[in-house]
């Protein structure tokens, strides 16, 4: 320990450490050896602090796609990649991984969750933590706890019984703690009546005292509500800075006897320890080639093949000399969801259609989207109103004014090639504007076809849209500061139709007037005219003329967002019609889905093959081409259950009651557990899926160990090609529950004995303490929660507490 590290901190210094210094940094006390830590949001990569499309970073597959891999070793490598990217970007702590659970298919951020199962989520989350921290970047697991939905998340109260909390929703965090994560981020919601940032029974009593977790606890951004209650509940660090409730107020709370000095010392010690641990030695980022190769591998490892009638896949050009590519997501893929952690993707990321053309060559006979491929908020394809010194030739010219009348020269001007702007106080240069002010976006739009164009506009204040100097839309509403974040997160926009002639250039101006708040946003877009019937007819004709069809459907990034859960589980209605019509025209169709969560697949029987790709990150195109051609295996298994009917899901609605309570009345029996307990067969089972290789299991046996048991089973690859299988073990009581698993790669014709350790905790339930299941415990072994052909039994003794 250096002299600086041994120096005792004053009360004022300790208090300083309990609040962030800026939006994304912690305070420093250099002469005590405490560096300032820089943070960034995750978990799909290193999100830019400015939320700026120019801050390009590597985009990994979303956690749901990584969850589909069932491969902790792979996920650890992906975590290492992100940790190294953080080093490159000068980031010390990543706000990741997200360890909440996909309790309902309607959850708006389900794509950020690894799974519906806590064991799968926990093992993969722990692996990601270990990988990230191997690069010298700290991992802050989030969001503790039960932030499993977005509806009224800033106000709702999750009501959860203790068994469910312990066995399900806390388990992934416990495993992250065992992996040594740098800290944990408390959620916005309440848990059993207390704000998560004040929830002493969870943070203080369970995580800190029972688990003896030494890491730092920080609030989600602006997620604190008090001084004494937060500190006494176990919170160590309020984010972001400058302080609102902690910081200097922490010292006052100690002086007034509201908070023990020992609690302040503990908070400061945890923040200082994180600074000393992650503010110094760093690893090296992966080189570009290695990073790209890993991202292709990781995407393909999560691709989940659930149907392959007649062996349509992999596609053989000898049998399919003319292949039609159809569907909106082939040219407009959904690489990721639309949260504040959205990554600025490299502009030359390969699209699926381009990768398919490169791999299959002349066999790709045609491409048509079939339906409009643009998101709800389309892009604004314009050139700047005036050229700035930045040399950008695409996008809008953005002028930021220090007044709401747009008077005088702007304080700042920039060219932005995006349709959505966000700026926070103290991050973006425009964030210094904390008084009433205005922002103007202007550009030149040239119509490529004649007809009605629909212009969209939204923002965090009063809005005005002008086309060729004519005001075509105006809304004078102003938002109270407390309502700004909700409007920003919702992304809702108004629209107006304007008839334009092909080839005619028009000036487009969007003006936003706003009142002081900690963040602001402006978004806009234009949708060109299009004939839905003509696009569908082109798709049907292309399908008829082809020997096989690759139909790529799915979501856009605004389908999965913060602050909103989904209204239903269905693909867009026009895509359902597209699937029906294309499959009827050519039964040799593989439907590729680009969806980040469980969704309604009742149409699946119409297609010869169905491949779920989730949100696969920036290398979607290359991975898809390689898997469809058979160069790689589709390595995924279902990380969630897809029910036959929405009513089968044990937890569907995410709307709190009139008192703001969201009752987790399904307890531990949600997802596959709930369906099995009620004897309901799923449409696609948790853990289900297959690759191009085939496997057989036999000769399962189990023996007791010092801490649980060890199951051994023989796995044989019965096919003529190499591949991977996920061997899954479930206990049967009190409900069907995943107890262990292993992903195993085998060469063609090879066999091996697979050994799966099952810790005692996996065979225990919580009843005011951990109790081992009585009598012989039956374990089922197989390929999914609904395909478990082997069984063994074992009797164990001993309680953990």
Residues 155-193: tens digit of each pLDDT: 999 999 999 999 999 999 999 999 999 999 999 999 999
Instruction: Encode burial over 431-445: b for 16+ CB neighbours within 10 A, e otherwise.
Output: bbbeeebbbbbbbeb
**What pLDDT score does 225 carry?**
98
Domain count, the chain: 4
Residues labelled catalytic: 220
For the residues of 632-669, what is the DSSP string, one character each?
S------SS-B-SSGGG-SS------TTSEEE-TTTT-
Tokens 């007649």 -> residue: 310
- Domain match, 222 and 130 both: yes
Is the pLDDT at 431 greater than 80? The verdict is no
- The percent of residues above 90 in pLDDT, for the chain, comes to 87
Domain end position, chosen among 485, 501, 527: 527
**What pLDDT score does 436 carry?**
85
Burial of 567 per CB tally in 10 Å (0-12, 13-18, 19+): exposed
Average pLDDT over every residue of 684-691: 98
- What's the distance, Cα to Cα, between the start and end of the chain in Å? 36
- Domain match, 456 and 578 both: no
- What CATH number corresponds to the domain at position 423? 2.60.120.260
Is the pLDDT at 130 greater than 70? The verdict is yes
Strand partners, 184: 141, 217
- Domain match, 347 and 472 both: no
**What pLDDT score does 798 carry?**
59
**SS3 state at 703:** strand
Phi, psi of 519, rounded to the nearest 5 degrees: -155, 160
- Domain match, 356 and 501 both: no
Which of 338-347, 397-406, 580-589 has the weakest average pLDDT?
A: 338-347
Residue 5 included in any domain? no
Q: Which helix (H) or strand (E) holds 438?
A: strand 437-446
- What CATH number corresponds to the domain at position 332? 3.40.50.1700
Residue 16 included in any domain? no
- Domain match, 514 and 581 both: no
Task: Give the pTM.
Answer: 0.96
Answer yes or no: are the C-beta atoms of 126 and 576 closer than 8 Å.
no
- Domain match, 369 and 408 both: no
Residue 9 included in any domain? no
Token couple for 224: 């604190």
- Domain match, 477 and 565 both: no
- Domain match, 265 and 344 both: no
Domain end position, chosen among 527, 547, 578: 527
**What pLDDT score does 800 carry?**
44
Domain end position, chosen among 228, 250, 278: 278
pLDDT band at 5; cut points 50, 70, 90: low
Is the pLDDT at 714 greater than 50? The verdict is yes
**What pLDDT score does 799 carry?**
55
Token couple for 186: 């408390």
Domain that holds residue 296: 288-375+531-663
Average pLDDT over every residue of 436-459: 95
Answer yes or no: are the C-beta atoms of 539 and 326 closer than 8 Å.
yes
Q: Order of strands, edge to edge, in the sheet holding 790-794?
A: 737-746, 723-731, 777-782, 790-794
**What pLDDT score does 801 carry?**
40
For the residues of 705-766, what is the DSSP string, one character each?
ETTEEEEEEEEEE-SSS-EEEEEEEEE-SSS-EEEEEEEEEE-TT-EEEEEEEEEGGGGEEE
pLDDT, averaged across the chain: 95
Residues 223-235: tens digit of each pLDDT: 999 999 999 999 9
Answer yes or no: are the C-beta atoms of 445 and 518 closer than 8 Å.
no
Residue 686 included in any domain? no
pLDDT band at 735; cut points 50, 70, 90: very high
pLDDT band at 530; cut points 50, 70, 90: confident
**What pLDDT score does 706 carry?**
87
pLDDT band at 558; cut points 50, 70, 90: confident
CA distance 395 to 397: 7
Residue 309 included in any domain? yes
């Amino acid at each position: 320990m250096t002299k600086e590290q041994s120096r005792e901190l004053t009360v004022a210094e300790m208090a300083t450490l309990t609040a962030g210094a800026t939006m994304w940094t912690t305070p420093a006390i250099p002469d005590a050896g405490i560096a300032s830590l820089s943070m960034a949001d995750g978990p799909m990569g290193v999100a830019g602090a400015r939320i700026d499309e120019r801050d390009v970073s590597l985009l990994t597959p979303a956690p749901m796609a990584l969850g589909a891999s069932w491969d902790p070793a792979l996920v650890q490598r992906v975590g290492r990649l992100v940790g190294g990217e953080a080093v490159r970007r000068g980031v010390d702590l990543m706000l990741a991984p997200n360890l909440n659970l996909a309790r309902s298919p309607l959850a708006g951020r389900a794509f950020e969750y690894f799974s519906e199962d806590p064991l799968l989520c926990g093992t993969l989350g722990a692996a990601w933590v270990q990988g990230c921290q191997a690069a010298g970047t700290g991992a802050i697991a989030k969001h503790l706890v039960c932030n499993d939905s977005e509806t009224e998340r800033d106000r709702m109260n999750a009501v959860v019984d203790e068994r469910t909390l312990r066995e399900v929703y806390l388990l992934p965090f416990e495993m992250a703690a065992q992996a040594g994560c740098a800290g944990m981020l408390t959620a916005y919601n309440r848990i059993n009546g207390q704000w998560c940032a004040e929830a002493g029974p969870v943070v203080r009593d369970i995580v800190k005292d029972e688990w003896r977790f030494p890491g730092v606890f920080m609030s989600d951004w602006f997620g604190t509500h008090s001084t004494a209650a937060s500190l006494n509940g176990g919170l160590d660090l309020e984010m972001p800075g400058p302080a609102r409730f902690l910081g200097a107020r922490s010292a006052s709370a100690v002086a007034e006897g509201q908070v023990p000095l020992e609690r302040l010392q503990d908070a400061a010690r945890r923040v200082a320890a994180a600074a000393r641990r992650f503010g110094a030695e760093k690893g090296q980022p992966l080189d570009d080639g290695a990073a790209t190769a890993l991202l292709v591998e990781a995407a393909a490892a999560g691709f989940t093949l659930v149907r392959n009638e007649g062996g349509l896949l992999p596609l053989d050009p000898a049998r399919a000399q003319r292949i039609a590519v159809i569907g909106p997501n082939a040219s407009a893929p959904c690489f990721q969801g639309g949260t504040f952690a959205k990554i600025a993707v490299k502009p030359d990321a390969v699209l699926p259609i381009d990768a398919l053309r490169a791999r299959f060559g002349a066999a790709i006979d045609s491409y048509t989207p079939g339906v409009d491929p643009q998101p709800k908020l389309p892009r604004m394809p314009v050139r700047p109103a005036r050229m700035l010194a930045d040399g950008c030739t695409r996008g809008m010219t953005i002028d930021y004014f220090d007044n709401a009348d747009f008077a005088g020269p702007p304080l700042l001007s920039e060219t932005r090639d995006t349709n959505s702007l966000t700026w926070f106080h103290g991050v973006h240069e425009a964030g210094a504007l904390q008084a009433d002010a205005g922002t103007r976006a202007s550009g030149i739009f040239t119509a490529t076809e004649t007809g009605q164009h629909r212009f969209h506009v939204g923002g965090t204040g009063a809005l005005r849209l002008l086309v060729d100097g004519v005001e075509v839309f105006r809304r004078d509403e102003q938002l109270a500061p407390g309502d700004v974040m909700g409007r920003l997160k919702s992304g809702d926009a108004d629209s107006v139709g304007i008839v334009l002639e092909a080839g005619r250039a028009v000036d487009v101006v969007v003006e936003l007037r706003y009142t002081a708040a900690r963040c602001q946003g402006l978004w806009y877009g234009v949708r060109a005219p299009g004939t839905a019937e003509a696009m569908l007819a082109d798709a049907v004709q292309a399908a008829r003329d082809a020997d096989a069809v690759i139909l790529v459907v799915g979501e856009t990034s605004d389908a999965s967002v913060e602050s909103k859960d989904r209204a239903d589980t269905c693909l867009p209605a026009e895509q359902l019609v597209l699937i029906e019509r294309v499959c009827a025209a050519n039964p040799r169709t593989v439907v590729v889905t680009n969806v980040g969560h469980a969704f309604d697949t009742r149409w699946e029987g119409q297609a010869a093959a169905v491949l779920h790709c989730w949100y696969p990150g920036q290398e979607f195109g290359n991975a898809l081409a390689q898997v469809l051609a058979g160069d790689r295996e589709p390595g995924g298994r279902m990380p969630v259950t897809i029910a036959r009917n929405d009513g089968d899901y044990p937890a569907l609605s995410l709307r709190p009651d009139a008192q703001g309570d969201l009752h987790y009345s399904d307890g531990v029996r949600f997802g596959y557990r709930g369906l099995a307990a009620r004897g309901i067969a799923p449409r696609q089972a948790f853990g289900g899926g297959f690759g191009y290789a085939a496997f057989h299991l036999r000769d399962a046996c189990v023996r007791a160990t010092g801490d649980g048991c060890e199951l051994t089973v023989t796995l044989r690859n019965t096919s003529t090609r190499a591949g991977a299988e996920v061997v899954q073990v479930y206990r049967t009581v009190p409900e069907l529950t995943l107890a262990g698993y292993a992903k195993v790669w085998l060469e063609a014709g090879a066999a091996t004995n697979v050994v799966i350790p099952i810790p005692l905790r996996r065979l225990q339930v919580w009843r005011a303490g951990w109790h081992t299941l009585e009598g012989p415990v039956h374990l089922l072994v197989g390929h999914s929660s609904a395909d478990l052909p082997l069984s063994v039994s074992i009797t164990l003794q001993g309680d953990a507490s």
